[in-house]
Structure 1
């Protein structure tokens, strides 16, 4: 069950949208492998489809993600690929790549590219996330296709802890990994919000005025918000707020609010055993029938059927 103070209390509460998104993803675990290379080498990975990450511990190499510009990654750099399309990782000298299927990589084992003996020129930690949520596309919609964070001590420390927990098999490691994944995602999202995030929640949170409106929308999801009210919170005229919100977040304010209400509704229907009428009320609908129509249009099936299927 996801605890939303705005849904279960009459007290005012300044919600943290980023934290809410991570909770809705239900991150469960992460796995990491040591990856090293020496000499001239290149490895081509087929499409994985799920979020994966890498942090360079020593040296540097080239990363070429399909449909994205080639980048150099060096010690201290963190990479997050929300959907992990096919990509190539290599040394700087051009050589024919070795082809690997990411689904067949043995978790916890060290991967060595190029020359097998001697101290590596490049050493990194790479791994993937697992989620319990039914809609990992929520993460994909928030982030650019390649998140590249440079010289983040915090991310380096977190990934090192993920490696230790995923290989150590100590008591409580499952709980530790789920918490570490949450921290990794928040840290990566913070970095993206301050950098090259596409239009969406992260970019909106990077704008001080839009952040005010977004936090209120998340904190009081059951409130009958209007564009005028949100514009006032942002200290902007109605037209200026509407234009800026749409440009930053990628959708109009009421469209964003509807989408977020539906995400909360799906979570409540999955995990809480609530009646549809109760869910409707908690996400701001005074009429169960109106909620059912909106949910069916947005999700593709009525809320009662969705609850049963989940």
Structure 2
């Protein structure tokens, strides 16, 4: 089998101990060096502090790895030429022997193939603004519609069309619940301004929903647990609105399109909020990782 599962992760799965999947795009493409490696280690440590095993996922020399050792983590953080891989890119990277960091869709797929059930990330991709013109929608949504995994996230990136993304998740049959809130979080913001239909308050409640998914035996879709960034750590909403509006205008004026839109907007936010958007992003990821570890623990106690 082409999938490489680390010994630590395999032993945890076999012993039914909690494991949390972590994406690697934030390491290779989301943060500057050397901070990216420090954050990668911090997130793995946070999972361990909650009693779970971290399984950072990446493709190295054409081999998908679920769980990285110290040297492999350093390679993802420091090696030039690490690609950004969605799930559609996995066969191409395997066949060509390429190395790449996994996005939400690729991480969710590889985690599921390895037998993992819980995945922590920052924010999901979704429907882009001006969708009626561009038809631009993240591959995350379609993959989550056919992959049985629980994704702990801070909602979807606020640069997207959040109402359309929620509608698309509903259409695709992906369950969405707020964690301790009846409002859908907005990645950098605790509240996107939109409600959620369901609220879960404890890891045990999340695990109960996961068990109910299996008992019902319906389509193998995901469960999205939308965990808001703490209000005291969110990006100032007024600053967010102003800078995002400026970023969208700059994007249009410079003719940025397709896959270049998201990194352009995110970079604009970081630079024009003096790094405050990045701080909010990391606060969200830290909270999601810890919650995911608690959910994984509740799941394995079932």
TM-score per shorter chain, which class?
under 0.3
Higher-Rg structure is 1
